[in-house]
A and B are shown apart, each in its own frame.
Chain A
């Protein structure tokens, strides 16, 4: 680059230096010739003698030329630095002399740079940085992929499927299966005293950490021998759990801890950077706190419909992702042949599907993040445009200063450089301030984490982020400096000195108008984004979730199999706990359900309807399941459409019953009375359970996800270990927590209660990401609107001041104030309207990126566009009305004299 510049410069400068050398040498020889002629030599003889005395002219010339260039370069450099020092000193003085301008300009730029840098730091942490696994691009997640129409849904893998792929694949070095569980931890603390605790646990193939290429920070990870027959049960802890429960004590290695009422030996602690899954991988969403080994292929005897495993694999280095997919398709084809009814293809296309783990982890946040980054960069541009306005206005005021400097011999480039240097100084201070803002904002963003952005907590202002800040600073400074500088230098020295104003206003006005138009257009794009996201957020909030959060406390208990080994014991626990909790003061009703709506887990599978035979090649009906205690409809505030709820009489020995939702009725019993119909979860031949009630559909995974038809089973007929209680209260739900703990401890002192939350909190967090997006955009939009309004106002005020004389004449000639106001406002609105039209076109062009972030609203929603455009127009009207009012107040006489 530098070389190119120098070569380019030489094209211009070399001839001058060369000519001077030639001139000097020629002159020397000529003088020598003249002297020799005076001594009496003939002209020819004199020249010959002179050249002889001079020596080798060509060599001397070349040597001198080379030296001359060297010196010239050196001088240019010195001059450049000297002038730069001078410019910088002068610039700093000028900025200091205009503290208001400097402060406003620096703050505006700093906000723009700071906001973009903060968002970029998140983008860098989440999207650009490597995952904490070795060669993570080779790690894939494998799913049961169901393709219906254009949509592909990915679901968990059943143990026999895992075992088959493990044996039959030719693409993977290693495969691991993972199942989400949870663990009740009791005792084991270093000081001996600690509460029972419930932690997020994963039961994983022993090679999981080897597959990921993540080693233990302390001790070791699992090996195959840990799952051998009769091996000692072991466990690996996460760094957080180790610090929290064991105080970072390294003697925890080799200690036995009580996990789900079973003693396991701690063999390792993972580093803080690895909490598999470190970001959501499909349904594996929560970060792990504890891992236990299990050979999932040994469960191959289970039903193929019982799909609950996450499946990870490491590609062999010589196998591409596409080749691995082809390999999986071969295996899928074999499955379809062997189990034709299970992997039926008529309505939904099924096939095993591999997806890079990076896609899994960051795929769903990539688009929102990039959209936010785009918005914040637009915001920065608006800030730059505003500061450019400011420096244009200042440029007008400084025209005489520059004219004088030009008259004193400063070249045009030198003046441009002066202005650019000034804006670089301004930019540098704004950039430094911006980085401080970014550091603060980054901390805030991490705290606002909706909990689903991978590696967000690792966001820092690091080298790459600083580089981004420096680049955006340079960009802003040049933008802010160059535009006015170029305008400035157009001004003719003569005109400027003579008039001081008025001259050359025309071209500058065009630049200003263009800046305002661009600002309005960019603000409109951000506003449309904010409008769409807000409307989508409101639409989500309007969705009837099928239950009412009300004033409800929820918590989960998981009864350890080791102590509750029989169905009777499990049922007995809840039969005792439910009335105990109901008796607590302030409690209106109590029940329990699993999975809890908005609890973050779901459970689904196929079912069969008595009397409805699925035609050969047809698909078994599929739905979401839940298990509940009597009274759940009331406690969760659900709506009973017909029939009855579960009652205590629906015991283990009583006839099997189920409750279904209105979606299931609409799909499978259209126009029939569903009560008394029978369905089975087990198989086409039963055993069947009778439908005794119909409830309204519940949006279990939040309002954005509709879900499938639902079936509720009574706990006493389908006992299981985990249940979530819903305690509806007449008082503040958290105020009964202490009493709830006492009642649980009275029944089982070693049983921890987990995931304590009010239903209202769950509802709030279920929309966390949508709220986060809408909020960020709203903040950007408000800032953009403000900046655009300020910009427009500034330009209109400037134009009015420029046209004071013209306005004075108009008023003097009898033009009414109304005409003047109309003229000024008309000017402003013309710019605003062009901006609005351009912005609308731009928004329509880029709104597609919001696809998938919007719910219940199209990216091209006309209402949003019209409302936003109207808002901007009103703001523009106000911004031009103020200067217009001032214009009409002008005294014609003084305006003319001015």
Chain B
């Protein structure tokens, strides 16, 4: 069920990106690396799917972009969190934690 997987992941990817950017501005490749490292490859996502998410979040005003340089000095887009993105991160984190707790309560007795 790749489609279902993808939709579940959609919200997760947004949250991951917001969390990543909360440490500071970075480009898409760096975001992918950070997610890869911190989740120990548990959340195996196609790196390409980050970009539509980035564009969508930028449109919603959660993140903004400017231009910076890559490791070899090429022009590359750098994303950073906006105040409304920070608020969104807080809201989504809370929601996520609530859900995790609820799921844990449901699953523990089993």
A positions within 8 Å CB-CB of B: 20-21, 23-25, 27-28, 31-32, 34, 53-57, 59-60, 63-64, 67-68, 70-71, 74
Stretch of B13-21, B42-50, B88-96 that contacts chain A: B42-50
Contact assessment for B47 and A55 in the assembled complex, using a CB-CB cutoff below 8 Å: yes
Contact assessment for B55 and A25 in the assembled complex, using a CB-CB cutoff below 8 Å: no
Q: Which residue of B lies closest to A23 (CB)?
A: B75
Chain B: minimal CB distance from A7 (Å): 21
Q: Besides A34-B71, A71-B59, 16 other CB < 8 A contacts?
A: A20-B77, A25-B51, A27-B70, A31-B29, A32-B47, A34-B72, A53-B47, A54-B48, A55-B46, A55-B47, A60-B48, A60-B52, A63-B51, A63-B52, A64-B55, A71-B55
Contact assessment for B52 and A64 in the assembled complex, using a CB-CB cutoff below 8 Å: yes
* B-chain residues with CB within 8 Å of residue A68 when the two chains form the complex: 55
Q: Which residue of A lies closest to B72 (CB)?
A: A34
CA distance A450 to B6 in the complex (A): 81
* B-chain residues with CB within 8 Å of residue A67 when the two chains form the complex: 52, 55-56, 59
Q: Which residue of A lies closest to B46 (CB)?
A: A55
* A-chain residues with CB within 8 Å of residue B59 when the two chains form the complex: 67, 70-71, 74
- Which residues of chain B (35-71) have a CB below 8 Å from chain A? 46-49, 51-52, 55-56, 58-59, 70-71
Contact assessment for B52 and A27 in the assembled complex, using a CB-CB cutoff below 8 Å: no
Interface membership of B25, Cβ < 8 A: no
Q: Which residue of B lies closest to A50 (CB)?
A: B47
Q: Please provide the 6 A-B residue pairs with the shortest distance between their CB atoms, ordered closest to farther.
A: A55-B46, A67-B55, A55-B48, A60-B48, A63-B52, A54-B48
Q: Which residue of A lies closest to B45 (CB)?
A: A55
Chain B: minimal CB distance from A358 (Å): 58
Chain B: minimal CB distance from A25 (Å): 6
CA distance A506 to B52 in the complex (A): 55
Q: A24-B28, A24-B76, A28-B28 are in contact. Are A64 and B58 (CB under 8 A)?
A: no
Q: Which residue of B lies closest to A25 (CB)?
A: B51
CA distance A660 to B40 in the complex (A): 125
Q: Which residue of B lies closest to A70 (CB)?
A: B59
* A-chain residues with CB within 8 Å of residue B72 when the two chains form the complex: 34
Contact assessment for B48 and A56 in the assembled complex, using a CB-CB cutoff below 8 Å: yes
Contact assessment for A60 and B58 in the assembled complex, using a CB-CB cutoff below 8 Å: no
Contact of B32 among A24, A28, A64 (CB under 8 A): A28
- Which residues of chain B (71-110) have a CB below 8 Å from chain A? 71-72, 74-77
CA distance A74 to B48 in the complex (A): 24
CA distance A74 to B51 in the complex (A): 19
Q: A67-B56, A74-B59 are in contact. Are A28 and B74 (CB under 8 A)?
A: no
B positions within 8 Å CB-CB of A: 27-29, 32, 46-49, 51-52, 55-56, 58-59, 70-72, 74-77
Contact of A60 among B32, B51, B74 (CB under 8 A): B51
Contact assessment for A32 and B48 in the assembled complex, using a CB-CB cutoff below 8 Å: no
Contact assessment for A60 and B49 in the assembled complex, using a CB-CB cutoff below 8 Å: yes
Contact assessment for A57 and B29 in the assembled complex, using a CB-CB cutoff below 8 Å: no
Contact assessment for A27 and B46 in the assembled complex, using a CB-CB cutoff below 8 Å: no
* B-chain residues with CB within 8 Å of residue A25 when the two chains form the complex: 48, 51
Contact assessment for A28 and B47 in the assembled complex, using a CB-CB cutoff below 8 Å: yes
The contact sample of 17 A-B pairs, CB cut-off 8 A, is A24-B76, A24-B77, A28-B51, A53-B46, A54-B47, A54-B48, A55-B46, A55-B49, A56-B46, A60-B48, A60-B49, A60-B52, A63-B55, A64-B55, A70-B59, A71-B55, A71-B59
CA distance A34 to B48 in the complex (A): 17
Chain B: minimal CB distance from A31 (Å): 5
* B-chain residues with CB within 8 Å of residue A28 when the two chains form the complex: 28-29, 32, 47, 51
Chain A: minimal CB distance from B95 (Å): 24
CA distance A25 to B55 in the complex (A): 12
CA distance A56 to B75 in the complex (A): 23
CA distance A70 to B52 in the complex (A): 12
* A-chain residues with CB within 8 Å of residue B48 when the two chains form the complex: 25, 54-57, 59-60
CA distance A522 to B29 in the complex (A): 69
Q: Which residue of A lies closest to B36 (CB)?
A: A53
Residue among B48, B72, B77 with the highest chain A CB neighbour number at 10 A: B48
* A-chain residues with CB within 8 Å of residue B51 when the two chains form the complex: 21, 24-25, 28, 60, 63-64
CA distance A56 to B74 in the complex (A): 24
CA distance A70 to B55 in the complex (A): 10
Q: Which residue of A lies closest to B74 (CB)?
A: A27
Contact assessment for A27 and B29 in the assembled complex, using a CB-CB cutoff below 8 Å: yes
CA distance A34 to B49 in the complex (A): 20
* A-chain residues with CB within 8 Å of residue B74 when the two chains form the complex: 27
Contact of B46 among A24, A54, A71 (CB under 8 A): A54
* A-chain residues with CB within 8 Å of residue B77 when the two chains form the complex: 20, 24
CA distance A34 to B71 in the complex (A): 10
CA distance A53 to B76 in the complex (A): 20
* B-chain residues with CB within 8 Å of residue A63 when the two chains form the complex: 51-52, 55
CA distance A70 to B59 in the complex (A): 8
Chain B: minimal CB distance from A17 (Å): 11
CA distance A23 to B29 in the complex (A): 13
Contact assessment for B55 and A27 in the assembled complex, using a CB-CB cutoff below 8 Å: no
* A-chain residues with CB within 8 Å of residue B29 when the two chains form the complex: 27-28, 31-32
Chain B: minimal CB distance from A80 (Å): 17
* A-chain residues with CB within 8 Å of residue B71 when the two chains form the complex: 31, 34
CA distance A27 to B76 in the complex (A): 7
Chain A: minimal CB distance from B41 (Å): 11
CA distance A28 to B78 in the complex (A): 12
* A-chain residues with CB within 8 Å of residue B32 when the two chains form the complex: 28
* B-chain residues with CB within 8 Å of residue A56 when the two chains form the complex: 46, 48
Q: Which residue of A lies closest to B52 (CB)?
A: A63
CA distance A25 to B27 in the complex (A): 11
Chain A: minimal CB distance from B46 (Å): 3
* A-chain residues with CB within 8 Å of residue B52 when the two chains form the complex: 60, 63-64, 67
Chain A: minimal CB distance from B2 (Å): 11
Q: Which residue of A lies closest to B49 (CB)?
A: A55
CA distance A55 to B47 in the complex (A): 7
* A-chain residues with CB within 8 Å of residue B28 when the two chains form the complex: 24, 28
Chain A: minimal CB distance from B69 (Å): 11
* B-chain residues with CB within 8 Å of residue A23 when the two chains form the complex: 75
* B-chain residues with CB within 8 Å of residue A59 when the two chains form the complex: 48
CA distance A157 to B56 in the complex (A): 82
Q: Which residue of A lies closest to B31 (CB)?
A: A28
Q: Which residue of B lies closest to A24 (CB)?
A: B77
Chain B: minimal CB distance from A76 (Å): 13
Q: Which residue of B lies closest to A57 (CB)?
A: B48
* B-chain residues with CB within 8 Å of residue A74 when the two chains form the complex: 59
* A-chain residues with CB within 8 Å of residue B75 when the two chains form the complex: 23
* B-chain residues with CB within 8 Å of residue A70 when the two chains form the complex: 59
Q: Which residue of A lies closest to B77 (CB)?
A: A24
Chain B: minimal CB distance from A68 (Å): 6
Q: Which residue of B lies closest to A58 (CB)?
A: B48
* A-chain residues with CB within 8 Å of residue B58 when the two chains form the complex: 71
Chain B: minimal CB distance from A495 (Å): 34
CA distance A284 to B47 in the complex (A): 89
Q: Which residue of B lies closest to A75 (CB)?
A: B59
Chain A: minimal CB distance from B32 (Å): 7
CA distance A828 to B51 in the complex (A): 68
Chain B: minimal CB distance from A64 (Å): 5
Contact assessment for A31 and B49 in the assembled complex, using a CB-CB cutoff below 8 Å: no
* A-chain residues with CB within 8 Å of residue B47 when the two chains form the complex: 28, 32, 53-55
* B-chain residues with CB within 8 Å of residue A71 when the two chains form the complex: 55, 58-59
CA distance A181 to B95 in the complex (A): 91
CA distance A64 to B70 in the complex (A): 20
Chain B: minimal CB distance from A1 (Å): 26
CA distance A68 to B57 in the complex (A): 11
CA distance A20 to B58 in the complex (A): 15
* A-chain residues with CB within 8 Å of residue B70 when the two chains form the complex: 27, 31
CA distance A31 to B48 in the complex (A): 13
CA distance A73 to B49 in the complex (A): 23
* B-chain residues with CB within 8 Å of residue A31 when the two chains form the complex: 29, 70-71
* A-chain residues with CB within 8 Å of residue B27 when the two chains form the complex: 27
* B-chain residues with CB within 8 Å of residue A32 when the two chains form the complex: 29, 47
Q: Which residue of A lies closest to B51 (CB)?
A: A64
Chain B: minimal CB distance from A658 (Å): 98
CA distance A24 to B52 in the complex (A): 12
